[in-house]
A = this chain, B = another copy of it.
């Protein structure tokens, strides 16, 4: 079934409205010296754990989190329990965050000027790729149990990310994950993609990723 042309036109209009708000967000974030990091990935790819473990390693740097989910506030509660200021967005049935949702959440978020603000997007490799939130950095988390064939199936999200974090690297031997094959496939879609293999649990690769992020997000 193809979508009627009228819908396509209206969806294009929504997308343009999103781009305008994203651009306003970017100016607002710059004025407050906020480094916003949009974290994309499948359900269960380890985004929340990764954010908590990265925040822990960022030392004196101020960190806050916006949590996107269809429903519930499991992740925001978890992050708050780690001492991180967190605001939960529930999308109802929506499969992605948009720039307007992030603007609203930012008003409630107790983020210090100069902070790194992680935005955990809804767990999804498709819809999230199409929406600019005004972020500085777009990170894609892919966990080893998801398989090394994912770039072929979800090319848009690999093409649009600045950094790929291969998460749960400790499980790679159990699931037959070929990291080199994955990297080659991802870079065929996005030659400049920065890639780290990380394991939040064991700490493997986390310092290299933290150093890259801290440099990319400037220093206070």
What is the interface of chain A, defined by CB distance below 8 A to chain B? 1-4, 6-7, 10-11, 13-14, 17-18, 21, 42-44, 69-72, 74-75, 93-95, 98-101, 122-127, 130, 143, 145-147, 149-150, 152-156, 168, 170-171, 174-175
Contact = CB atoms under 8 A, between A and B. Distances in A.
A71 B71 CA distance: 28
Nearest to A71: B155
Nearest to A170: B174
B130 A93 contact: yes
B1 A74 contact: no
27 contacts: A1-B18, A1-B100, A4-B10, A7-B7, A42-B43, A42-B44, A42-B123, A43-B125, A43-B150, A44-B143, A70-B153, A70-B154, A70-B155, A70-B156, A71-B152, A71-B153, A71-B154, A95-B126, A95-B127, A122-B126, A123-B125, A123-B153, A124-B124, A124-B126, A168-B175, A171-B171, A174-B174
Given A93-B126, A145-B143, A14 B42 contact: no
A82 to B, nearest CB: 16
A194 to B, nearest CB: 21
Contacts of A6: 10
A94 to B, nearest CB: 8
Given A1-B21, A42-B146, A145-B171, 14 more contacts: A1-B17, A1-B18, A1-B99, A1-B101, A7-B10, A42-B123, A44-B143, A44-B147, A44-B150, A70-B155, A75-B153, A93-B126, A126-B127, A174-B174
